[in-house]
Structure 1
Amino acid sequence: MNDAFFPDIVVNGDTIPASDVSAELQNHNVPQGKQALAWRRAARALAIRALLLQEAKKRNLDANTHDIGPGKNETETEALIRTLLEQALPETTPDETALRAYYDANLERFRAPALYEASHILFAADETAPAREKARIRAVAALGILTHNPDQFRNLARNESDCTSRQSDGRLGQISRGETVEAFDRMLDQLEPGTIAPEPIETRFGFHILRLDAKAPGDILPFENAKPRIAEATEKAAWTRAANEFVTDLVSHADISGIDMRPE
């Protein structure tokens, strides 16, 4: 992007060159053709950083860098901003009552994954169109047999399946959501135990006939088990709100030119 099309940014008398904004662009992904939006986001980010550093200087804060990963330390700038926010933002630890209220209002979020027992018949195919079509035709034919005689599943699995599960009549054993391909997960949620999917399921492996043998809904985690997760999410949300309010206040009292600091 040509820096000449965009002005330098001035924050309370401190200048941020357009070249610095160009270097910041890599940290801001926007849709193709939205270069002006990318520039605005990069410029806003640098203006806010400048405001935070000016406020840290005003408060005479020191930069005590911390380790933030194996072999990686904070920069002095990162340390100053962290120290400022630690000092300026209010305590965000939620109380037990708030955590319990959130838990009671969102019980389904704390349900363990359902467990399934399923069986399948695989008609394998590579990615070529002829192989795909051949596997699809085989699967449709097998499904036609099962529509009239579901008891043939075992025989078809043993004689037709291209999966090693054919040795156990197509049984996949006990599985939970996320352990198989997404198409399986979606269908397992829809089927009733003892029923066969109404159409073959296509995956990168080929075409599958899927049967749900049993299903056990996951239990809801007790509050004490869910509490650390709720507390972390609640604290993070409260911290983000407080940080946004703090930055908004700094912007409202600042003299900034070269960039519109109003929210998008």
Structure 2
Amino acid sequence: MSTMPTSGLAAPTLSVNGVEIDAAAIAEEAGHHADAADALAASRRALAIRELLRQRACALELIEDAIALDDAALDRLLQRELSVPAATRADCERYYASHESRFRRNEIVYASHILFAVTGHTPLALIRGKAEATLGAVLAAPDTFEAVARDVSNCPSGAVGGSLGQLLRGDSVPEFERAVFDTQETGMLPRLVNTRFGFHIVRIERRVPGTLMAFEDVETQIAGFLDERVRHKAMQQYVSILASRARIEGVELGEANGPLVQ
């Protein structure tokens, strides 16, 4: 069972079944999580998961007790413990039929946005509240979009009324790309788009649909994606089972998300 103290200024001791993970290791690992909202918290989760898996590998005599878990040992562990079915052709065909917009060549979206950037100096709730209020105002008066972008957007595009010009798949971060490409909407999107950079008010001026790629040309790509998605889910469940049987102190794993289960 996972526990985490809720008070005190010092970070709680991190341990898994009595094996303590020292502060130096946590600080070093944090360097690999610079993009996380809380790098130290992400580091603690990742190290707790790795220690869980290391202890399981030791119990199965895949590595000696004092040995660190390397990639080769992790692969042996997962090969032994996880059973992940491969995607069938029928699975791939269903995904292709349901996500045709993802398999178009030369698809172009002309879009503009107003960005409310997330910073460490302003509470997230205040930033979101300002973004939502501005979205409501712009939806009520669409002609003000460019002026509002120039006044409040935290993106350099604000200087040109928020225009991002033409976008191809791969030009923007995945969260933004999904919001503008995985839909056929045009005009003002009636909701905020949340990305790692902040909250965006988005207007889609025009779409160029491009051409649909043949299923045979993307079948291997789809199968790889589906296999990885199933493996990711199986890994989450596996780590959650290990965590439920362990005594973990100093971190809350939640759904056991971390670099080892992605």
TM-score by length of 1: 0.51
Q: Cα deviations across residues 176-200 of structure 1 (Å, max 9, x unaligned)?
A: xxxxxx62569xxxxxxxxxxxxxx
Aligned positions of 1:13-162 closer than 5 A: 13-29=18-34, 37-62=38-63, 77-113=70-106
Larger relative contact order (Cα-Cα within 8 Å, sequence gap ≥ 6) = 2
8 Å CA contact 2:14–2:249 kept in 1: the answer is: yes
Structure 2 unaligned regions, length at least 5: 1-8, 109-163, 169-207, 258-262
SS in 1 for 2:15: strand
CA drift of 1:30 comes to 5.1
State the match for 2:236 in structure 1.
244
- Does 2:170 align with 1:183? no
Structure 1 unaligned regions, length at least 5: 64-74, 116-181, 187-215
CA drift of 1:253 comes to 0.8
Structure label with greater radius of gyration:
1
TM-score by length of 2: 0.51
State the match for 2:175 in structure 1.
none
Match of 1:6 among 3, 6, 11: 11
Provide closer, same or farther for how the CA distance between residues 18 and 217 of structure 1 changes in structure 2, counting only shifts above 3 A: closer
Q: What one-letter code is carried by the residue in structure 2 that aligns with 1:183?
A: G
4+ long deviations beyond 6 Å: none
C-alpha RMSD of matched pairs (Å):
3.1
Q: What one-letter code is carried by the residue in structure 2 that aligns with 1:20?
A: A
Provide closer, same or farther for how the CA distance between residues 76 and 244 of structure 1 changes in structure 2, counting only shifts above 3 A: closer
Q: Cα deviations across residues 214-233 of structure 1 (Å, max 9, x unaligned)?
A: xx964322211110111011
CA drift of 1:62 comes to 4.9
Equivalenced residue count is: 153
CA drift of 1:92 comes to 3.2
8 Å CA contact 1:6–1:18 kept in 2: the answer is: no
